[in-house]
């Protein structure tokens, strides 16, 4: 496979880079493993810059965990008390 890596500066280049990664993942050429790792790092760097992770608010985390465990507000009263 072509040894060219895609430096990502736009969403169009991101799409091309992801397509390249897909092709590299299906390659049997051992040299493509290094290309795959390098392109994956470039994709991760672009995504991190464009969509930085945000720290969730405590209330969001609590709501999510309650939903996942089938809990209601009343279930937390023994732990947190009443308002």
Question: Based on the domain organization, do 28 and 59 belong to the same domain?
Answer: no
b/e sequence 14-47, b meaning 16+ C-beta within 10 Å: beebeebbeebeeeeeeebeebbeebbebbeebe
Rounded distance, CA 31 to CA 15, Å? 22
Which residue shows structure tokens 């308002």? Answer: 83
Give the pLDDT band of residue 3 (cuts 50, 70, 90).
low
* 3-state SS, residue 36: helix
Residue 4 lies in a domain: no
- Domain span at residue 40 reads 11-50
Question: Based on the domain organization, do 64 and 45 belong to the same domain?
Answer: no
Q: Total structural domains in the chain?
A: 2
Rounded distance, CA 68 to CA 70, Å? 6
Question: Based on the domain organization, do 39 and 58 belong to the same domain?
Answer: no
Residue 35 lies in a domain: yes
Instruction: For residue range 27-56, list pLDDT tens digits in order.
Output: 999 889 999 999 999 999 999 999 999 999
Residue 65 lies in a domain: yes
Residue 6 lies in a domain: no
């Amino acid at each position: 496979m072509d040894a060219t890596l895609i430096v990502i500066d736009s969403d169009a280049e991101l799409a091309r880079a992801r397509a390249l990664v897909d092709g590299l993942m299906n390659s049997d050429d051992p040299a493509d493993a290094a290309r795959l790792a390098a392109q994956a790092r470039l994709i991760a760097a672009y995504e991190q810059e464009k969509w930085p992770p945000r720290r969730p608010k405590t209330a969001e985390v609590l709501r999510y965990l309650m939903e996942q465990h089938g809990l209601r507000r009343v279930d937390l009263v023994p732990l947190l008390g009443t308002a």
